[in-house]
């Protein structure tokens, strides 16, 4: 299968601190890649580099054939095809649920108002929030906010979705509803990169798991390989703490 994302020798530092030291991997179309690792391992930074929210210091990232490090690449255009879901939702508090979803298609003129409205209704149905159309984010629970955030990023019809610890800020009883929406996306064949601590999710729907530590991908493999038969001592150590 064609590679959707190619990362070669990625280096990223914040000031003197080198967070990503040498990261290379390829992600195929339709693949679901789960990134795990201790905090400070660079997994969130890695994800944020994939849509250029972080400017990288070395290496190359190619998404959909666009080289993100090439000055001529229109990053705004590339980002339209990459949805991102954040730990803290980052819904727009001054817009209603439906306005949140319609904002990007309308601002970027990829849809007419009618199309955007229909799309928003369809997405809200998909994430099970049709009854929350016209209220403001402040009135939603954490799980509902995150489902709206997922719907919002789907409004641009992206072909890659990035999830940055989407359930970490949620109360335990709300984790399931968000993971279910994500599983629906997996079933639809979406290419996904998910940074998470939800090992159950990783095992169930992940095609591949990357274990990161200290700015490197220490080990990668299928869920069965990595979770049941880890080879690296650091992986074994990490898994013994979280499983």
Q: Check residue 151 for interaction with another protein (CB under 8 A).
A: no
Residue 90 CB, nearest distance to another protein (Å)? 4
Contacts made by residues 231-239, CB under 8 angstroms, sequence distance 24+: 235/211, 238/36, 238/37, 238/38, 238/211, 238/213
* Cα(148)–Cα(141) distance, integer angstroms: 11
Q: Check residue 9 for interaction with another protein (CB under 8 A).
A: no
Nearer to another protein, 28 or 53 (CB): 53
Q: Which one among 51, 144, 191, 235 touches another protein, defined by CB under 8 A?
A: 51
Residue 32 CB, nearest distance to another protein (Å)? 19
| Candidate segments 23-31, 38-46, 145-153, 188-196, binder of another protein by CB under 8 A | 145-153
Residues 80-139 that bind another protein (CB under 8 A): 80, 82-84, 86, 88, 90-94, 96, 103-104, 107-108, 135-139
Q: How many residues does the structure list for the chain?
A: 243
Q: Check residue 152 for interaction with another protein (CB under 8 A).
A: yes
Phi/psi at 212 (nearest 5 deg)? -110, 145
Nearer to another protein, 82 or 193 (CB): 82
Beta sheet of 82-85, edge-to-edge order: 82-85, 160-164, 191-195, 32-36, 208-213, 216-221
Q: What is the contact surface with another protein in residues (CB under 8 A)? A: 51, 53, 76-77, 79-80, 82-84, 86, 88, 90-94, 96, 103-104, 107-108, 135-139, 149, 152-153, 156
């Amino acid at each position: 299968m064609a590679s959707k994302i190619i990362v070669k020798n990625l280096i990223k530092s914040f000031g003197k601190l080198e967070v990503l030291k040498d990261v290379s991997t390829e992600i195929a179309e339709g693949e679901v890649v789960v990134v795990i690792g201790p905090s400070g391992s660079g997994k969130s930074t890695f994800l944020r580099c994939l849509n250029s929210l972080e400017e990288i210091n070395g290496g190359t990232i190619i998404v959909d054939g666009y080289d993100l490090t090439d000055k001529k690449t229109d990053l705004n255009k590339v980002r339209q095809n990459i949805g991102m879901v954040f730990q803290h939702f980052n819904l727009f508090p001054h817009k209603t649920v439906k306005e949140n979803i319609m904002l990007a298609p309308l601002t970027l003129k990829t849809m007419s108002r009618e199309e955007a409205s229909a799309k928003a209704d369809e997405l809200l149905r998909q994430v099970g929030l049709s009854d929350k159309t016209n209220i403001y984010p402040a009135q939603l629970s954490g799980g509902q906010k995150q489902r709206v955030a997922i719907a919002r990023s789907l409004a641009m019809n992206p072909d890659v979705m990035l999830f940055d610890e989407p359930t970490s800020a949620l109360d335990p009883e709300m984790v399931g509803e968000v993971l279910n929406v994500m599983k629906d996306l997996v079933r639809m064949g979406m290419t996904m990169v998910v940074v998470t601590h939800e090992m159950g999710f990783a095992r169930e729907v992940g095609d591949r798991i990357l274990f990161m530590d200290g700015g490197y991908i220490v080990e990668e493999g299928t869920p069965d390989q990595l979770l049941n038969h880890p080879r690296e001592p650091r992986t074994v150590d990490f898994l013994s703490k979280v499983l």
